[in-house]
Amino acid sequence: MAASRGVRRWRQLTVWLHVVTSVGWMAQALTICVLLTTSLTADDRAVAVSNTASAELLDMRLLAPMANASAFTGFMLAAATPWGFFRHWWVLTKFAITLVQLYLGIFVLSDALHESAAAAVAGTTGPTRAMVVGSACMAGAIAFQAWLSVTKPWSTTRWTANRGRGGAPRTAPVWVFVATVCGGLLDFAVAWLLGHPAPLLSLTILGTWLVLRWRAERRESRPEPVAA
């Protein structure tokens, strides 16, 4: 009983951390959208430079660490609970959207912000309308994911029916949720100190648990020996 209470408590803390970082991610995306919009429409070059530089700073110091922590806790909640990644369409949709957001945010928007900040200082150019639209779409996608989490629409996927006799995956032991909360917070602190995200601990925790769960599922799926 004490073990189940511990799992429930730390699972709730994981959900709390996921919600807080997701809201923070969306808030920073909206803030960057406003800063870039103001930079585009500003007549004063100093205002445009300042707003673009502020957008870049927010992206590296807050948005990126929030995004990584949100994605990490979301992935762990799927991997460490009976929800899984591919059993329900709403979870699979959130998973796919998060991967796209991380790719676009890390490899497209962040690079574009860095180049625009440098260009704004040089007086050559600044942020583009595509960057404004991209940051707004990022915030909208997070809001849509929140709706999915609340309503849990649609049916289960065909992977649920084809899972076999193993049924839904079990909830992970308490140490998995403890590691998720502590690892997410530590990686956020490291990102704050370094000035850029470095989610090495989060990736290690996620990878370790996925391997352990895969091995456990393989053992459970083996046919029972027939008595002589």
Average pLDDT over residues 179-198: 93
Average pLDDT over residues 187-194: 92
Q: What H or E segment, with its residue span, contains residue 26?
A: helix 2-41
- Assigned domain for 128 exists: yes
- Assigned domain for 38 exists: yes
Give me the percent of the chain exceeding a pLDDT of 90: 62
Helix axes 200-221, 174-194, angle to 10 degrees: 160
Q: What is the pLDDT of residues 33-54, one digit of tens each?
A: 999 999 888 878 888 889 989 9
- Assigned domain for 110 exists: yes
Q: What is the pLDDT of residues 114-164, one digit of tens each?
A: 888 887 777 667 788 899 999 999 999 999 999 999 999 998 888 775 555
Q: Which residue has the higher pLDDT, 17 or 1?
A: 17
**228's tokens:** 């002589």
User: Which residues have CB under 8 Å from 36's CB, separation 6+?
Assistant: 51, 52, 55, 127, 131, 132, 135
Range of the domain at 23: 2-219
Kindly tell me if the per-residue pLDDT of 19 is higher than 70.
yes
Residue 72 contacts residue 176 (beta carbons within 8 Å):
no
- Assigned domain for 160 exists: yes
- Assigned domain for 207 exists: yes
- Assigned domain for 118 exists: yes
Average pLDDT over residues 106-110: 88
